[in-house]
Structure 1
């Protein structure tokens, strides 16, 4: 008799994702369980999730970390793979996930990300709070907890850190440049709320200095220049993220 393969839950947090959720869920046939947390949904998101046999939880969460922890809490499998509705698992990654959970060597794995703006793959320049090229999304149940922040919450891990898997998570980050700018506005507003809630919004001088270091990191160190104008824009928005968040925290309520 062979040992049973460890089970895998796919955990998704979604807000009004009826247009994208089905395509996302079609790529996770390897999962033993799908959990979809429907956050303030007013469309067919929950209905579509149930069509794929998902366990759904409807509610309202102001804090990103809280709703992500809710999805993890509701998952019942040995391993959890976190996914967003604007992401697809390619076949190589699906096979790599199944192979990874069959081993007891590690408690979490790093997942490569291929980021798209519209139809264009943008490989270089991500980082500094405005995108990432790899994420810790596959982990054993109980080994990951999200923090209290509204945007880009902190993460606390326990257990053994594994390597980067093969394949890629296909992430449709922004539909176009206007979408990218809207995301920047939304994220800086959420970050400003976190700064006010923490009681320490920082200073103009400190955030001004970060503009140069963050732009350099994205455009030069992470080779955003290879992406031309899009690489410049990503680096610029990443560089301005702390300053605009600070300014909103300082002035928006006045």
Structure 2
């Protein structure tokens, strides 16, 4: 491809996912991995794919991803998480765009589908959410937010059609390990911003509202037991974050 792409991935103990992820992006011109102290076989597996591997203490998702972007040799960045997989259709779509000498956009939104506890969600918001993950670093970068980081871009964007598959969690224990990490980071953000102005009653009473929204309005009721659990756990997130 005349326009080269650097794939950037941040990792921590991702041996269950990383091989599948790296296989899906081995067509990229380089793969940059920023690890935050994995104690499993993550690094060993990344070495098999000739990744450029760096280590950095974790200070939040935004900071970690910004650092990864800064290490990339190419202007165009494909940022995916260690539990995501670029579909064959998305791969071909990106290659077709980047085979042209001139790219008309500064970034591309990728549609992402959730696979939770082995079930591919076919209904609701989680079946197709768009994320800005392919972008020219001369026009933007990730925000520095500790959690819920996003790419902030000054330029035109386009939505792509090929799917990015998110193999979220394979078991409940894995979910709550990451849930605990996310809520702790989010609670720290609240504390730092002194943003605990909502009453306990408002937080607790908000739970059934969140659940109805996640389960019924977002149509997770159609995704079976996994849809129920996803709606339930997602609705607990703001409650646990606040009380931490």
Normalised to the residue count of structure 2, the TM-score between the two structures is 0.88
The answer to whether residue 165 in structure 2 is matched with residue 170 in structure 1 is yes
Q: Residues 45-74 of structure 1, C-alpha deviation per residue, up to 9 Å, x if partnerless?
A: 233323212111112122111111011111
Hey, what does 2:112 align to over in structure 1? Answer: 113
User: Structure 1 CA distance, aligned partners of 2:12 and 2:216?
Assistant: 35
Q: Matched residue of 2:24: which SS?
A: coil
Distance change (3 Å), C-alpha of 1:67 and 1:124: same
Equivalent of 2:192 in 189, 197, 200: 197
User: Structure 2 CA distance, aligned partners of 1:196 and 1:212?
Assistant: 25
Q: Matched residue of 1:10: which SS?
A: strand
Unaligned runs of 5+ in 1: 249-254
Residues 32-41 or 152-161, more deviating: 152-161
- 4+ runs of 1 displaced by more than 6 Å? none
Unaligned runs of 5+ in 2: none
| 1:205 positional shift | 4.3
| 1:36 positional shift | 0.5
1:102-141 matches, within 5 Å, as: 102=100, 103-126=102-125, 133-141=129-137
User: Structure 2 CA distance, aligned partners of 1:139 and 1:96?
Assistant: 15
User: Structure 2 CA distance, aligned partners of 1:91 and 1:143?
Assistant: 27
Equivalent of 1:161 in 157, 161, 164: 157
User: Structure 2 CA distance, aligned partners of 1:236 and 1:67?
Assistant: 29
Residue correspondences, number: 241
Hey, what does 1:49 align to over in structure 2? Answer: 46
| 1:31 positional shift | 0.4
Distance change (3 Å), C-alpha of 1:202 and 1:147: farther
Normalised to the residue count of structure 1, the TM-score between the two structures is 0.85
| 1:183 positional shift | 2.8
Residues 29-38 or 223-232, more deviating: 223-232
